[in-house]
Structure 1
Amino acid sequence: MSDHGILSDAIVYLAAAVVCVPLASRSKLGSVLGYLAAGCIIGPFGLRFVEDPESTLHFAEIGVVLMLFVIGLELDPSHLWKMRRSVFGGGAIQLFACAIPLGLGLLALGLPWQGALVAGLALGLSSTAVAMQTMAEKSLLSSPVGKTSFAILLFQDIAAIPLLAMVPLLAERASGDSGSGSGWLGAAKVLGAVTLVFVIGRFLTRPILRILANTGLREVFTGFALLLVLGIAQIMASVGISMALGAFLAGVLLAGSEYRHALESDIEPFKGLLMGLFFIAVGMSIDFGLMTTRPLFVLGLVLGFQVLKVLALRAVAGPLGIGTAQRWLIAALLAQGGEFAFVVFGVARSAKLLPGDWDALLTLAVALSMALTPVLMILHDKLVLSRQKNQKPEADEIVDEGRPVIIAGFGRFGQIVGRLLFASGMQATVLDHDPDTIELLKRFKFRVYYGDATRLDLLHAAGASHAKLLVVAIDDVEASVRLVENVREHFPTLKIVARARNVGHWQRLRSLGVEIVERETFEAAVMVGRHALEMLGVKPYDAKERADVFRRHNVRSMEAALPVWQDVEARTKMAISARDQLERQMDTDRKAADRHVTRGWHTDPPPPGGEAEMREAEAAEEEAAGESQS
């Protein structure tokens, strides 16, 4: 291809991505579908701006290689060893659970058993690129579903090695040829390649990176990072191993290196660009000619593939440790075919295991399944999530054990309160409305009842009629206010300590008569301000004093504004006046501190008359507070 042709293709790819991807993202379809749509439009079955998608696809697979290298950098070998059960156990369960029904289905459609076995296993693989990109966009990578999915995808990359090695063996069996020891030679080559990668990653790379880092030339360091990844990928590919698996292995070997973050930041831009190109190439490779000549068969093949795989994934999600509410999610994430299936189908076609146009049909099915992943995610969000929200489980049967405290809401705020009470020997009945949170807390031996704390019957069951204290730690403002209203009406003697999400929430709770209301971010913000003063040169005692003055002044000002809270103009005037009073008070304290030099904490006592001036400052503070309340 000429330089002019390469430049023209690059302009076409970039222009298509710039147009299609933002449109797909704004339509909440995800960037993957945007890239696939761009490929369909510019490919040989669309506007024909690009006629050779295969060469682009082979080049763009480097994006998958770089992605696996970056993932490997985030996993040190010890962590990978801890994941061995989920990787090898969970991954094997998933692969065979999906491959068996898919292989039987292809066998029923007329494929020879050797071809059905290979194709079934290949279709059981999922797309690392599509699944990881989707999980990243939806912030699922660190969730239980994301971790399990990653373990499965990692096993699939490993399983690709024996799958490829199995193809020529099945071809020999199908042709009646018993082989002549080539399998042992291939195994020796694989072992040698893995050993070479281990030596490079473990012993050679760090000294070279150290030398390059000392040069201070960032571009040379980046060039070596690309050379390392692509070189290792080429070594693995030369012996028939997945390039992505080789890159992942190299990343794991460098995970504990001091250059890990530098390598990751240098590789990241290339990875993102080439991943987008990979999806565009997949879109271009979709053979719409087959869709026009055999539309019903293609439609049935794709739908059958997706239905069988989704049901198989849903069935094994439980044994894999996925909660009930998340099982359809992992099925939608991993339902597509994998990019490695393209390689397997090509090898199987060369080995004559896939007769006729089966190679093209299966390739089309995998490409379309990738395009369907965003659609499956949308269906999951629209149907499954909405149904789960509308069909919450029944509340637990609460046993009234006469505990003096009821904690409503046991999320990040309520847990801190609860742990402090439990550590002090206090007993509490805990209510929360989030099933996932309750399931997680059970692992840590917390007894939490599921239920809506605003319901009067649950409050009775929790012992609100004789409890001493209710801690309102619910994060939903309206639910928090409803709970306080119910308690004030039906349990007027029950004391309340409440959490406020913001100033407006604080005002509503105080208006209902709750005496102790703590804004959830106020104390933390005051402490940060105090530490900031210390780091700017203010002595620790003085910083504490200023923080305490600010705290008292803020609380008094809000209490003073409570009667006129609904009058925005009056409240604004009071806020401005309170701010001016605080500035004057702070100025008085600073002048007193300058005259006394020190005021506390391992310091000399103030000079004669200093204590009187401090009392005068406190009196001025009280007078300012009285003016704000009048």
Structure 2
Amino acid sequence: MEELEFLVNMTIMLVSAGICSVIFNKLKMPPIIGYLLAGILIVNVLEGPFKITLNGEIIDNLSHLGLVMLMFGIGMELDIDKLKNDGKFAMIVAIIQLPLMMMIGYVSGSFLGLTPSASIALGAIISGSSTAVVAEVLKMQKRISKETAETLILVTIMEDIGQVIILSMVTPIFAGGTMGMSEMTTLILKIIVFMIVIIAIGVKFMPRILDWIGDNTSQEVLLIVSVGLCFGLAYISHMVGLSMAVGAFLMGVTLSRSKFKMNLFDKVEPMKELFMSIFFISIGMKVVFGEFIDNFGLAVAIVVIFMLGKFVTVFIGYFVGNKNYVDCFSCSISLMAMGEFAFIIAGEALKTNVITSGFYSAVIGASLLSMIILPLISRYTFRVVDAVEEKKPKLLCSVGNWAFNTRDRVYGLLQSAGIGNRIRNNIYTVYGSIVSIIFIEIIFTSFMDFLLEQIVSFFGCDRSIGFMLLMLMNLLALFSPTLFLVRSVKGINKALIEASEKNGTEMDRIYYGILQFGTITFVFVIDLLIMIVSPGPFGYVYLISIAPVIIALLLVYFLYARYKYKKGEDILDEENRRK
């Protein structure tokens, strides 16, 4: 009976997925959409009127298998040598846009009324793009060069790596509601040790072991050992508190260094495709029509936040990477499809009750919408570019020319002897400071209630006093990274001014104006703005009432600094005239 039940489950899932995928293939849509839709139809149509019941335990086990094989395959596709040669730009884009998308998701989640942990989950969910969907869309895009398309795929791979790291970081936060502080600290330490051991030892020794097996045994034995190691590391990853996806991905990365990589990949690929389809079908089966309809507005909000955020952050990444405006625009459009990791992270959040099943349905709906919308809007990408070049809107062109000319001038100054490294080091410090600030605020807002209870208990004060003390602690925690941020920004400005004076060129007044800001005052203004935007018990009435005051103070201070700078400039001109 169990054998027949298994066969019925497999038949219904795979035939349904095949039919849906064929339909979407005719519409030039990626097969993932067909898999997800098949799961939705199975649970909402076949299990309803047709009274077909699938075994949930069988499907869960097969979906876990599919998740492991999917992540194992993604890890094996990663070419570390290619990353060393061509991955610098892709890494720049990923490093810039992943934290920004996390921040956008976190702030948006707070505005949508989500809990801090759910807001973190939203940021993690929307941070990446779908490699499979992007690859399909690029096949239809005739005007994107092969080199640009390969770079885009490399960017999505770097996003996958970044989301593995994000998943590792948010796992303890998701579990925070079900464990104490000491247990969570132990979990974090176990995760850190696990990641260090696998990356430091696995990448160095595992390829040699597999090469020896491949040289001395058959390819079948090599395949069995490799897949066994994949499941073994996935199990260990689960035992230390991580998702099994992380372990499978890391094993795929370590095996990608073996000289038998291509043979292994060719044998693993069919297995991966089969079980990957079941994984996506199982995701679709978690979506109930009633919950999806009730949360359709949330799904639309998520997809709007994702697509706008992704466009802006990828554009910034390509802009900083010194690409022209056509590449910035077209590549930003091409990455607007939510990635496979969205389902993995959402599943982990659902399992730990960080998000509700309704929110999970909204995430799946948003993913489907983005996957359907991207192929449609990508067809008009270059029509928009051509229209802008033909019409030349005055405001858009003037802002664009100013931005790209300023960037080109800065890059030209970076070539000047003696300042390139100074600016580069300051930029690294700015980035590290911003990431530290985001991490500090996530920690404070996620554990605000716990910290507040500890303060009230320790000092024996009421909650209002305790909250003021908590805000003071937050302000002190933000002080150091913000101080580094402000000093680094000033250091960049100073280096650019020195380089422009050496080259006989003149920088915009804003570069001089930034140097006039008092460092400590500027630090506290930034910290106060950060704390106001972060969610707190006063709600957004407090934000709306206080933020304009802070902005007004910042504006007054800026005007004062500008006046002070102008006065100093006039005195200097007067002294030069006297001489």
Give TM class, smaller chain: 0.5 to 0.7
- Is 1:346–2:347 an aligned residue pair? no
| Amino acid corresponding to residue 164 of structure 2 in structure 1 | D
1:107 to 110, 130, 137: 110
Q: Distance in 2 between matches of 1:274 and 1:228?
A: 18
Taking structure 1 as reference, are residues 334 and 145 closer, same or farther at Cα in structure 2, changes over 3 Å only? farther
Q: Which runs of 5+ in 1 are unaligned?
A: 396-442, 444-630
8 Å CA contact retained: 2:202, 2:254: no
Over residues 155-195 of structure 1, what are the superposed CA-to-partner deviations in whole Å (9 max), with x where a residue is unaligned?
A: 112111011122344667xxxx6x23641454135414651
How much does 1:384 deviate?
3.1
Structure 1 segment 115-264 matched on structure 2, within 5 A: 115-126=117-128, 128=130, 131=133, 134=136, 142-169=149-176, 179-180=181-182, 182-184=184-186, 186-188=188-190, 190-192=192-194, 194-195=196-197, 199=201, 202-203=204-205, 206-207=208-209, 210-211=212-213, 214-216=216-218, 218-264=219-265
8 Å CA contact retained: 2:137, 2:378: no
- Is 1:384–2:387 an aligned residue pair? no
Aligned match of 1:16: 16
| Amino acid corresponding to residue 147 of structure 1 in structure 2 | L
Q: Distance in 2 between matches of 1:343 and 1:260?
A: 30
Over residues 515-567 of structure 1, what are the superposed CA-to-partner deviations in whole Å (9 max), with x where a residue is unaligned?
A: xxxxxxxxxxxxxxxxxxxxxxxxxxxxxxxxxxxxxxxxxxxxxxxxxxxxx
Q: Distance in 1 between matches of 2:188 and 2:58?
A: 27
Q: Distance in 2 between matches of 1:221 and 1:336?
A: 28
How much does 1:301 deviate?
0.4
Task: Say which SS state the counterpart of residue 43 (structure 1) adopts.
Answer: helix
- Is 1:332–2:336 an aligned residue pair? yes
Task: Say which SS state the counterpart of residue 317 (structure 2) adopts.
Answer: coil
Q: Comparing both structures, which one devotes a greater share of its residues to helix?
A: 2
Aligned match of 1:446: none
Taking structure 1 as reference, are residues 328 and 181 closer, same or farther at Cα in structure 2, changes over 3 Å only? closer
8 Å CA contact retained: 1:194, 1:236: no
Identify which of structures 1 and 2 has the higher relative contact order when contacts are C-alpha pairs closer than 8 Å and 6+ apart: 2
Taking structure 1 as reference, are residues 331 and 103 closer, same or farther at Cα in structure 2, changes over 3 Å only? same
Q: Distance in 2 between matches of 1:21 and 1:239?
A: 37
8 Å CA contact retained: 1:97, 1:313: no
Aligned match of 1:274: 275
Taking structure 1 as reference, are residues 335 and 42 closer, same or farther at Cα in structure 2, changes over 3 Å only? closer
| Amino acid corresponding to residue 152 of structure 1 in structure 2 | E
1:369 to 358, 366, 369: 366
8 Å CA contact retained: 1:149, 1:330: no
Aligned match of 1:73: 76
CA-based RMSD: 3.5
8 Å CA contact retained: 1:87, 1:151: yes
Aligned match of 2:521: none
Q: How many residues align?
A: 378
How much does 1:305 deviate?
0.7
- Is 1:7–2:7 an aligned residue pair? yes
TM-score calculated relative to the size of structure 2: 0.57
Q: Distance in 2 between matches of 1:133 and 1:92?
A: 21
Taking structure 1 as reference, are residues 79 and 246 closer, same or farther at Cα in structure 2, changes over 3 Å only? farther
8 Å CA contact retained: 1:65, 1:233: yes
After TM superposition, the structure 1 stretch with the greater mean CA deviation from structure 2, 147-156 or 63-72, is 63-72
8 Å CA contact retained: 1:126, 1:153: yes
Structure 1 segment 538-549 matched on structure 2, within 5 A: none
After TM superposition, the structure 1 stretch with the greater mean CA deviation from structure 2, 324-333 or 139-148, is 139-148
Q: Distance in 2 between matches of 1:143 and 1:208?
A: 29
Taking structure 1 as reference, are residues 385 and 163 closer, same or farther at Cα in structure 2, changes over 3 Å only? same
Q: Distance in 1 between matches of 2:214 and 2:330?
A: 46
How much does 1:272 deviate?
1.1
Over residues 291-336 of structure 1, what are the superposed CA-to-partner deviations in whole Å (9 max), with x where a residue is unaligned?
A: 35x2xxx121011111111111111122211623314423423478
Q: Which runs of 5+ in 2 are unaligned?
A: 320-326, 393-410, 412-579
Over residues 561-608 of structure 1, what are the superposed CA-to-partner deviations in whole Å (9 max), with x where a residue is unaligned?
A: xxxxxxxxxxxxxxxxxxxxxxxxxxxxxxxxxxxxxxxxxxxxxxxx
| Amino acid corresponding to residue 228 of structure 1 in structure 2 | L
8 Å CA contact retained: 2:71, 2:248: yes
How much does 1:283 deviate?
1.8
Q: Distance in 2 between matches of 1:226 and 1:28?
A: 33
Task: State the 4+ residue runs in structure 1 displaced beyond 6 angstroms.
Answer: none
